[in-house]
Amino acid sequence: MKNRALRRYIYCLSPLLFLFHSGSGQIANPVKKDSTVSSGFKLRTVVVDAGHGGHTGAAGAYSTEEGVTLALAFKLQKAIEKNLPDIKVVMTRTTTANVPWQTRSDIANNNKGDLFISLHCNSLADRIVVSHGRRIRVPDKSGRGVLVLVYGFHRDKEEAAALRENLFEEKDGQGSNSGFDPNDPTAMILLNAFKAKYRKNSIRFANLVNNEFVDTDGRHSDGVKEQGILVLCHSAMPAVLIETGFINNPIDEDYLNSEDGQNEIVASIVRALTEYKKEVE
Q: What's the whole-model pTM score? A: 0.81
Q: What band does 189 get if pLDDT is binned at 50, 70 and 90?
A: confident
Share of the chain above pLDDT 90, in %: 59
What gap in Å lies between CA 277 and CA 44, rounded to an integer? 10
Considering all CA atoms of the chain, what is the largest pairwise distance in Å, rounded to the nearest integer?
Answer: 73
* % of the chain at pLDDT higher than 70: 75
Residue 279 reports pLDDT greater than 80: yes
Range of the domain at 167: 41-280
As a whole number, mean pLDDT of residues 98-117 equals: 96
pLDDT tens, position by position, 257-273 = 999 999 999 999 999 99
Task: State which amino acid sits at residue 76.
Answer: L
Mean pLDDT lowest for which of 20-24, 82-86, 144-148, 236-240?
20-24
Q: Is residue 157 part of a domain?
A: yes
Q: Is the pLDDT of residue 44 over 50?
A: yes
Q: What is the CATH number of the domain that holds 260?
A: 3.40.630.40
Question: Band of the pLDDT at 14, cuts 50, 70, 90?
Answer: very low
Instruction: Give yes or no for residue 172 having a pLDDT over 50.
Output: no
Residue 118 contacts residue 49 (beta carbons within 8 Å) = yes
- Which of these, 28, 2, 22, 79, lies nearest to 206 by C-alpha position? 28
Task: Tell me whether residue 5 is in a domain.
Answer: no
pLDDT tens figures, 190-237: 777 878 899 999 999 999 999 999 999 999 999 999 988 888 988 999
Tell whether 32 is covered by a domain: no
Residues 20, 22: Cα–Cα separation, whole Å: 7
Q: Go through 104-132 and write b for each residue having 16 or more CB atoms within 10 A of its CB, e for each that does not.
A: bbbbbbeeebbbbbbbbbbbeeeeeeeee
Q: Are strands 239-246 and 221-227 parallel, antiparallel or unpaired?
A: unpaired
Whether 247 maps to a domain, the answer reads yes
Quote the CA–CA distance of 103 and 105 in Å, as a whole number. Answer: 5
**Number of domains comprising the chain:** 1
Task: Say whether pLDDT at 18 is over 90.
Answer: no
Which DSSP string do the residues of the chain spell out, in sequence order?
---HHHHHHHHHHTTHHHH----GGGTTSPPPPP-SPP------EEEEEE---SS-S-B-SS-BHHHHHHHHHHHHHHHHHHH-TTSEEEES--SSS---HHHHHHHHHHTT-SEEEEEEEE-PPPEEEEETTEEEEE------SEEEEEE-GGGHHHHHHHHHHHH---B-TTS-B-S--TT-HHHHHHHHHHHHHHHHHHHHHHHHHHHIIIIIT---EEEEEEE--HHHHTSSS-EEEEEEEETTSHHHHHHHHSHHHHHHHHHHHHHHHHHHHHHH-
Q: At what angle do helices 259-280 and 185-211 cross, to 10 degrees?
A: 140
Q: In this structure, is residue 18 part of a structural domain?
A: no
* Residue 35 located in a structural domain: no
Indicate whether 3 belongs to any domain: no
User: Do the domain assignments include residue 11?
Assistant: no
Please name which of 49, 51, 23 lies closest in space to residue 153, comparing C-alpha atoms. Answer: 23
